Chain A
Amino acid sequence: MARAVSTRRTVVFTIAAWIVALIIFFPILYTIITSFKSETEAIKGFNIIPSGTIESYQAVQAQSNYFKFFLNSVVLSLGSTLLALLIAVPAAWSMAFSPTAKTKDILMWMLSTKMMPAVAVLVPIYLIFRDTGLLDSRIGLTVMLTMINLPIVIWMLYTYFREIPGEILEAARMDGASLWGEIVYVLTPMAVPGIASTMLLNIILAWNEAFWTIRLTTTNAAPLTAFIASFSSPQGLFWAKLSAASTLAIAPILIMGWFSQKQLVRGLTFGAVK
Chain B
Amino acid sequence: MGKIILKKVNKSFGATQVIPGIDLTIEDGEFVVFVGPSGCGKSTLLRLIAGLEDTTSGTIEIDGKDVTGAAPAKRGLAMVFQSYALYPHMSVAKNIAFPLKMAKMDQAAIDKKVTEAARVLNLTNYLERRPGQLSGGQRQRVAIGRAIVREPSAFLFDEPLSNLDAALRGTMRLEISELHHQLKTTMIYVTHDQVEAMTMADKIVVLNAGNIEQVGSPLDLYNKPDNLFVAGFIGSPRMNFVKGEAAKPYNAPTVGIRPEHIKLSKETGSWKGVVGVAEHLGSDTFLHVNVEGIGMLTVRADGDFPVTHGDIVWLTPDATRIHRFDDKGLAIR
B85 and A167 within 8 A (CB):
yes
In the complex, whether B110 has a CB less than 8 A from a CB of chain A is no
User: Interface with B: A18-26, A75-83, A119-127, A175-183, which one?
Assistant: A175-183
Interface centre among A176, A177, A185, A186 (most CB of B within 10 A): A176
Q: Which of A171, A176, A185 contacts B85 (CB 8 A)?
A: A171
By a CB distance below 8 angstroms, the chain B residues around A189 are 89
Chain B residues 18-39 with CB under 8 Å of chain A are none
**Once the chains are docked, how many angstroms separate the CA of A65 from the CA of B52?**
60
What's the interface size class on A, roughly? 10 to 19
A168 and B85 within 8 A (CB):
yes
**Once the chains are docked, how many angstroms separate the CA of A158 from the CA of B83?**
22
What string of 1s and 0s marks CB contacts (under 8 Å) between A52-84 and chain B? 000000000000000000000000000000000
Chain A residues 143-195 with CB under 8 Å of chain B are 165, 167-168, 170-178, 181, 185-186, 189-190
Q: Which of B77, B78, B88 contacts A190 (CB 8 A)?
A: B88
What string of 1s and 0s marks CB contacts (under 8 Å) between B70-110 and chain A? 01110001110111011111000000001101110000000
Known interface pairs A167-B81, A181-B102. Does A173 touch B87 (Cβ–Cβ under 8 Å)?
no
In the complex, whether B141 has a CB less than 8 A from a CB of chain A is no
B99 and A176 within 8 A (CB):
yes
By a CB distance below 8 angstroms, the chain A residues around B146 are 171, 175
Which residue of chain B is the closest to A193 with respect to CB atoms?
Answer: B89
What's the interface size class on B, roughly? 20 to 34
Which residue of chain B is the closest to A175 with respect to CB atoms?
Answer: B99
By a CB distance below 8 angstroms, the chain B residues around A181 are 102
A174 and B73 within 8 A (CB):
yes
Which residue of chain A is the closest to B104 with respect to CB atoms?
Answer: A176
**Once the chains are docked, how many angstroms separate the CA of A175 from the CA of B85?**
11
**Once the chains are docked, how many angstroms separate the CA of A185 from the CA of B89?**
10
Q: Which of B77, B88, B89, B101 contacts A174 (CB 8 A)?
A: B77
B73 and A175 within 8 A (CB):
yes
Min Cβ gap A253→B in Å is 30
A175 and B52 within 8 A (CB):
no
Min Cβ gap B31→A in Å is 20
A165 and B73 within 8 A (CB):
no
B89 and A173 within 8 A (CB):
no
**Once the chains are docked, how many angstroms separate the CA of A167 from the CA of B85?**
6
In the complex, whether B261 has a CB less than 8 A from a CB of chain A is no
**Once the chains are docked, how many angstroms separate the CA of A172 from the CA of B98?**
8
**Once the chains are docked, how many angstroms separate the CA of A167 from the CA of B101?**
19
Q: Which of A167, A170, A175, A178 contacts B98 (CB 8 A)?
A: A175
By a CB distance below 8 angstroms, the chain A residues around B102 are 175-178, 181
By a CB distance below 8 angstroms, the chain A residues around B86 are 168, 171
By a CB distance below 8 angstroms, the chain A residues around B101 are 185
By a CB distance below 8 angstroms, the chain B residues around A172 are 87, 98
A170 and B52 within 8 A (CB):
yes
Known interface pairs A165-B83, A171-B79, A175-B98. Does A190 touch B89 (Cβ–Cβ under 8 Å)?
yes
**Once the chains are docked, how many angstroms separate the CA of A178 from the CA of B102?**
8
A186 and B72 within 8 A (CB):
no
In the complex, whether B150 has a CB less than 8 A from a CB of chain A is yes
Min Cβ gap A66→B in Å is 42
By a CB distance below 8 angstroms, the chain B residues around A173 are 52, 71-73
Name 8 A/B residue pairs within 8 A (Cβ), A-sorted.
A168-B86, A170-B79, A171-B85, A175-B78, A175-B150, A177-B73, A190-B87, A190-B88
B98 and A165 within 8 A (CB):
no
In the complex, whether B50 has a CB less than 8 A from a CB of chain A is yes
A176 and B103 within 8 A (CB):
yes
By a CB distance below 8 angstroms, the chain B residues around A171 are 79, 81, 85-87, 146
Interface centre among A175, A181, A190 (most CB of B within 10 A): A175
Min Cβ gap A134→B in Å is 42
**Once the chains are docked, how many angstroms separate the CA of A185 from the CA of B95?**
11
Known interface pairs A175-B150, A186-B87. Does A170 touch B73 (Cβ–Cβ under 8 Å)?
no
What string of 1s and 0s marks CB contacts (under 8 Å) between A28-48 and chain B? 000000000000000000000
For the complex of A and B, the 3 pairs showing the least CB-CB separation, nearest first, are A171-B85, A175-B99, A176-B102
Min Cβ gap B157→A in Å is 12
Min Cβ gap A217→B in Å is 42
Min Cβ gap B98→A in Å is 5
By a CB distance below 8 angstroms, the chain B residues around A177 are 73, 98, 102
B89 and A176 within 8 A (CB):
no
Instruction: For the A-B complex with A168-B87, A177-B73 known, give 7 more contacts whose Cβ atoms are closer than 8 Å.
Output: A167-B83, A170-B85, A171-B87, A175-B73, A175-B146, A175-B150, A185-B98
B83 and A176 within 8 A (CB):
no
**Once the chains are docked, how many angstroms separate the CA of A190 from the CA of B83?**
17
